[in-house]
Structure 1
Amino acid sequence: MNARLNEYLEQIEKNLKPLPVAERVDIVQEIKSEMQELQGTGQTPEQIIHRLGDPRELARAYLGDMITKDTRFSWGRVLAICAYYSLTGVTGLVIIPTLGICAPAFLLCGMAVPLLGVVKLVNELLRLHIPYAEYITVAGVSNPVLAFLFCLVVGVALCGLGYGCWKLLVGYIKSVSKVKRSLSV
């Protein structure tokens, strides 16, 4: 087997460390068989790795499946639950706060930027002499009409980023809680 595929299998096994050795070996053997089957169809190691995805995500999926398929108590199941939550917990420590901060920040900035463009445009057209309005610049554009249009484009882009961050946050929380709801120790 290719060195890259062996490295991929080692990463999977590393992410499944809390599981008992027998279960870990079964999972790695199942993935190895899948890899060999895909190699038999003529796929390159890069294509196989791309198809299987991130080894951490694949290990998490196996942990989630293992946790939910059997509801009886066992120490292996307790270890699987601990492994699952340690993987999702570590990523949750980064993903949830980052997306939770970025979503409203992008949305607020997406609303503020066009408003500043309006202030600059109205100040210039009506000669209101609003304090500090002359300091509002967008990418060095001094023409107030072009600055306003640029502010609209930037505002829409920022709102889109904020909405995207929000959807990612909700999707992440749903995916983690879907497995959590089916856990019963």
Structure 2
Amino acid sequence: MSPKTRAYLEKLYQLLEKMPEDERLDAIREIESHIAEGVANGHSEDAILDRLGDPRMLAKAYRSEYIMEKGSARSFKDVMVMVGFYCSTGLLSIMVIPVLATIAYGFGFCSVLIFIAGFIRTFGVTWIQMNLGPGIEVPTEWSMLYSTIVGGIVGGIAYVSWRGLRNYMNFLSASYKKVLPGSRAA
């Protein structure tokens, strides 16, 4: 292995610092194997490294794959790690992801509060006000229906935003996967 290849692998290893050690080592082994296979097929190490591209982009691809493979059993912390990672991927992501995440989680929380407020108001709590417009108050007996409709609309907006966020992050993940060696012709 040439010094240039060794330096490339060391740089990649450093860039993968936020991943668990076993995942980092798997990524390095995969790239080493890819390079060795290319050399065995008659390609020069320099040509293979040029095809692999910038180690920063390759590291982002591996991190993206790792983040997306955690599956559906994600904690709030895992989701925030995903959002943070994808926000760092480009200018559009810095704008799109926080907006969709804020709408999804904020409106989702609000829809629950609206439903609870309607439920409580139905039993005569007077300090909760529900208005259709200026001077038009919802009668107490209609509070539950009104909060269900409004909460459903707000919850629907939250759901659509959450699906949009997931689709956008899946799109970014698929884009990064194209950078990985196994996903393109050598």
Indicate the TM-score class for this superposition, using the shorter chain for normalisation. 0.3 to 0.5
TM-score, length-normalised on structure 1? 0.44
TM-score, length-normalised on structure 2? 0.44
